[in-house]
Amino acid sequence: MITFQSTDAVSPELSPVFERFYDALPDRPRATDYLEVGSLPCPKIVAVKRRYIQFNKKNYWVKFLTYDCDYEGAGFVWYEEDLPAPTFIIINKKNGHAHLTYELEIPIHLAGKNPSTKAIYYLEVVRQAYTTAFQADTAYTGLLSKNPFSNHWRVQVYDEVYDLDRLAEPLRSISWKELKEVSLDELEATIKNAKIELPSKRRGLGFREEYAEQGRNCFCFEHARFYAYDIVKICSTQNELEKKIRQHIDQLNADFDERLPESEIRSTSRSIAKWVWDKRNYFTDASERFCERFSERQKERQLLSAAKRKENNEQKIREAVKEFKKENRKITQLAISEKTGLSRQTVSKYSFLFQNKKC
């Protein structure tokens, strides 16, 4: 069922989607009205009044997958790519840019007792695939997102929650059940055999644990330099790169009980920015080559999965039509949608199967 919320009167009482969202927020999420001035942690009741808010418990769990699409008409890209409807579509009224957010039924834990290695890899595979499909900002950290409670944005809500298998279904052929049966040693080979793009190991499980053991200084430095490799291609000056790195370290620094001093953050940001900027051509060229190869492979997989999805949808509708005829029930798009679990938009694409009395 699709629910559209007023942009001027969004409140937790209006929809179960907003109730779930509010309940899942960290106790003191970071929030702000202006990204350029930074963000601060504050109580939920205050944070939901800001334009930007922290959705997930950083470095602990991922409950919401958000994609930053910086182009006009981004609110409809999921439909054009024939991908599942985001739980939240939060659109900038001025330029049509959007944040597309999927709510996960069960959060993926990144820390705590016995986090699932396979689930984390699976999450990163899905995240990377959707980023490519949506042409979303690859440098987006996911810490702060457009706040669906704020009337500054135009908000569309679909009352849907997803598991990773449902999100991944349109993109690749391996199931979550199959992945759970694979040992850790076989995981990489299995993903490659299934033609899934394995996430970068520097972003995978173990990064935080590996460097956090060496101290917060080392962790922030290592995390920030990899971040700089990714974003240098979108920075026009070294100063801009340094500013972005410093903001990133500030966000990381918020996780530590005893924070790094400002002087050390400035020094680390300046050092990383200078080194990466001097070698920016290497990182830009390497990124472009990787994106080009990945895009080609992703297009091939999308064509194959789209054909299979079309075949499955057609079969579901044919079976529903046969059953309705047998029971002498009226055949409508709504009835078929409810019977098959497909959206009405999808069913409308196959109207020739029942409008012409064919099955």
- What is the pLDDT, as a whole number, of residue 314? 84
pTM here is 0.51
Residue 318 and residue 351: Cα distance in Å, rounded? 11
Residue 310 in any domain: the answer is yes
In this structure, are 87 and 182 located in the same domain? yes
Nearest alpha carbon to residue 69 among 103, 50, 94, 97 = 97
Residue 299 above 50 pLDDT? yes
Query: Looking at 278, 313, 331, which one is the last position of a domain?
Result: 278
Range of weakest confidence among 89-93, 100-104, 119-123: 119-123
- What is the pLDDT, as a whole number, of residue 91? 92
Residue 40 in any domain: the answer is yes
In this structure, are 67 and 198 located in the same domain? yes
In this structure, are 20 and 40 located in the same domain? yes
Give percent above pLDDT 70 in the chain: 71
Count of CB atoms situated within 10 Å of the CB of 72 = 11
- Binned at pLDDT 50, 70 and 90, residue 354 comes out as confident
Residue 328 in any domain: the answer is yes
In this structure, are 46 and 23 located in the same domain? yes
**Tokens (6 digits) for 323:** 């059953």
- What is the pLDDT, as a whole number, of residue 182? 54
In this structure, are 53 and 198 located in the same domain? yes
Residue 289 in any domain: the answer is no
Candidate ranges 9-13, 111-115, 138-142, 244-248; pick with highest mean pLDDT: 244-248
Which helix (H) or strand (E) segment holds residue 292: the answer is helix 280-326
Residue 87 and residue 276: Cα distance in Å, rounded? 37
- What is the pLDDT, as a whole number, of residue 14? 53
Residue 238 in any domain: the answer is yes
In this structure, are 226 and 156 located in the same domain? no
In this structure, are 152 and 107 located in the same domain? yes
**Cβ pair 331, 324 in contact under 8 A:** yes
- What is the pLDDT, as a whole number, of residue 345? 73
- Binned at pLDDT 50, 70 and 90, residue 27 comes out as confident
In this structure, are 165 and 109 located in the same domain? yes
Residue 283 in any domain: the answer is no
Nearest alpha carbon to residue 64 among 35, 97, 29, 107 = 107
In this structure, are 235 and 342 located in the same domain? no
- Binned at pLDDT 50, 70 and 90, residue 209 comes out as very low
Residue 235 and residue 242: Cα distance in Å, rounded? 9
Query: Looking at 179, 205, 231, which one is the last position of a domain?
Result: 205
**Tokens (6 digits) for 134:** 């949506």
264 contact partners, CB below 8 Å, separation of at least 6: 217
In this structure, are 250 and 269 located in the same domain? yes
- What is the pLDDT, as a whole number, of residue 101? 95
Residue 98 in any domain: the answer is yes
Beta bridge partners of 155: 90
Query: Looking at 205, 227, 249, which one is the last position of a domain?
Result: 205
Give percent above pLDDT 90 in the chain: 14
Residue 17 in any domain: the answer is yes
Domain region containing 270: 208-278
- What is the pLDDT, as a whole number, of residue 206? 41
- Binned at pLDDT 50, 70 and 90, residue 252 comes out as confident
In this structure, are 308 and 163 located in the same domain? no
In this structure, are 131 and 51 located in the same domain? yes
Q: What string of DSSP letters covers 61-130? A: EEEEEEEEE-STTGGGHHHHTT-PPPSEEEEETTT--EEEEEEEEEEEESSSSS--HHHHHHHHHHHHHH
Mean confidence (pLDDT) of the chain = 75
- Note the pLDDT tens digit of each residue in 124-160: 878 888 888 888 888 787 889 999 999 899 998 888 8
Residue 166 above 50 pLDDT? yes
- Binned at pLDDT 50, 70 and 90, residue 10 comes out as very low
Residue 188 above 70 pLDDT? no
Tally of structural domains, the chain: 3
Ramachandran category for residue 34: left, alpha or beta (phi over 0 → left; psi -120 to 50 → alpha): beta
Residue 53 above 90 pLDDT? yes
- Binned at pLDDT 50, 70 and 90, residue 185 comes out as low
